[in-house]
């Protein structure tokens, strides 16, 4: 699938955001740069599952870039391969075809 639907949590402000990340195109969430390298969805006859290979990097205050996470994330089991970060949580919700309507939400 060409687009991953991701959800992120800023632990400092307690705000969540749902955003699309096209495969191969970096997107930003806070100080993180997220690059989805692959997004796969199970066939309709299999149990529902979406998985994305995600590369997350954080830009530090001094300008250096630090790798935060690299690996597969699974929508049905976000804790199986979770990104551990003191400020941000990011997880996969779905893999989908490109959608012209980007869904985004914030909750206080």
pLDDT of 49-83, one tens digit each? 889 999 999 998 888 999 999 999 998 887 777 88
Strand boundaries in 26-98, DSSP class E = 27-29, 32-41, 50-59, 65-74, 88-96
How far apart, in whole angstroms, are the C-alpha atoms of residue 20 and residue 14? 20
Phi then psi for 105, rounded to 5 degrees?
-145, 150
Q: Provide the residue ranges of all domains of the chain, joining segments of one domain with +.
A: 2-97
Task: State yes or no: pLDDT of 45 exceeds 90.
Answer: no
> What pLDDT score does 99 carry?
60
Structure tokens at 30: 């806070």
Task: State yes or no: pLDDT of 101 exceeds 60.
Answer: no
């Amino acid at each position: 699938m060409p687009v991953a639907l991701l959800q992120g949590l800023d632990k400092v402000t307690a705000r969540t955001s749902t955003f699309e990340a096209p495969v191969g195109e970096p997107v930003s969430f806070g100080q993180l740069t997220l690059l989805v390298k692959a997004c796969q969805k199970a066939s309709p006859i299999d149990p529902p599952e979406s998985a994305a290979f995600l590369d997350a990097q954080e830009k530090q205050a001094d300008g250096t870039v630090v790798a935060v996470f690299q690996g597969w994330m699974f929508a049905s089991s976000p804790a199986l391969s979770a990104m551990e970060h003191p400020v941000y949580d990011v997880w996969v919700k779905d893999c989908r075809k490109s959608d012209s309507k980007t869904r985004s939400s914030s909750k206080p």
